[in-house]
Amino acid sequence: MKKRLIILVVVLAVMVGCAKRIEFAEATLRVGLVFDVGGRGDKSFNDSAYRGLEKAKEDLGIYYEYIEPGEGSDRESGLRMLANQKFDLIFGIGFMFSDDITHVAREFPDKKFACVDYTVQPGREIPPNLAALKFREEEGSYLVGAIAGLVTKTNKLGFVGGMDIPLIHKFESGYKAGVRRVNPKATILVGYAGVTGEAFKNPAKGKEIALSQYGQGVDIIYHASGSTGLGVFEAAREKKALAIGVDSDQYYEAPGFILTSMIKRVDNSVYNTIKETIAGQFKGGVHTFGLEEDGVGYVYDENNKDLIPGEVRKKVEELKAQIIKGEIGVPKE
């Protein structure tokens, strides 16, 4: 019986392997992706990238494989492992990949690469086979800041960042500017979870910072901290206060306590890069997505519309139009 079971397992494994090889061979494009810190299931940044992969598979007939994140050199080894296989397009998800993906792209000039939140360094040339996908996070953050500034009852608001770096400062700066545009009297408390990548996956620290801010009279907190933000939501539930999600619609992480979420369309950037590559229109260099390109935004739907009065929604839409027209300049720092 045991022998027959082993044989069955082996046969099934072979069948699955054969099916994958057929799928790989017949795909319109073979895509590899290495996730950022936190990996799949972060309910935020990485999950948005995964949605882009899934949509491309469904709509465009691609084959994809992904690698969960490691630390340090694991990012580079993951990229190199995919490049050494027959993948056509390889993604690195997150700014931490910037140096590694630049090196690997130069080593494999016949492959195409894309990096979400790529850090552009003055004087460093981006390889022609590398697309740097960047976002104007400050624009979406400005709008959720305006919502918070109009909805707050205490005139005290909070911000919880993950890693204390320029990228997250863009979220903070945009949020503060949006608040102050509509509510100059409001004060904003700011806290960061740390100075390393671990700061994006520390819900306990997120909860600790959030509880401190709520304890000082804050009634709404915006987080830009990856899965660390799950701790912010837990604190919001305990204190019966409000929080603002980031990157993806995070309503279901704390139903009734999520005022809105700042949407960062990583899924769109992944999907569109794949689509352009299939069409032979891949372009290296910097590609930036803001409100005008539907790269960022905020959630307003059946789940949260009762938390956002009609006059608030109208005002925020006016501000959005002004940003797109260039009538409002949103600070990045």
CATH architecture of the domain formed by 28-135+266-289: 3-Layer(aba) Sandwich (3.40)
| CA distance readout (Å), 38 to 46, 68, 150, 183, 221 | 8, 8, 33, 35, 21
> Is 22 a residue whose pLDDT tops 70?
no
Place of tokens 């494999």: 108
Give me the chain's average pLDDT, please.
Answer: 91
Instruction: Give, in words, the CATH class of 137-264+300-325.
Output: alpha beta
Sequence-ordered alpha helix ranges (H) in the chain: 2-26, 45-60, 73-84, 98-107, 137-151, 166-182, 203-215, 229-239, 266-278, 310-325
| Residue 11 in this model has a pLDDT that exceeds 90 | no
What are 230's two structure tokens? 């799950």
Phi, psi of 327, deg, nearest 5: -80, -20
SS3 content of the chain, % helix, strand, coil (to 5): 50, 20, 30
More confident residue, 316 or 69: 316
Determine which helix (DSSP H) or strand (DSSP E) holds 63, and give its type and residue range. Answer: strand 63-67
Contact criterion met (CB below 8 Å) for 287 and 134: yes
Strands across the sheet containing 187-194 = 187-194, 156-163, 220-224, 242-247, 258-264, 296-298
CA nearest to 161, candidates 205, 140, 192:
192
Residue 258 pLDDT > 50: yes
Give pLDDT tens digits for 94-116.
999 999 999 999 999 999 999 99
Where does the pLDDT of residue 74 fall: very low under 50, low under 70, confident under 90, or very high at 90 and above?
confident
pLDDT per position as a tens digit, 311-328: 999 999 999 999 999 999
H-helix segments, 224-309: 229-239, 266-278
Residues whose CB is less than 8 angstroms from the CB of residue 113 and which lie 6 or more positions away in sequence, other chains included: 79, 89, 90, 91, 92, 101, 104, 105, 127, 129, 130, 131
The C-alpha atoms of residue 58 and residue 308 are separated, in whole angstroms, by: 34
Window from 9-18, 226-235, 314-323 with minimum mean pLDDT: 9-18
- Write the pLDDT tens digit of every residue in 169-218: 999 999 999 999 999 999 999 999 999 989 999 999 999 999 999 999 99
Q: Where in the chain is the domain with CATH 3.40.50.2300?
A: 28-135+266-289, 137-264+300-325
- With contact defined as beta carbons under 8 Å apart, do 319 and 142 qualify? yes
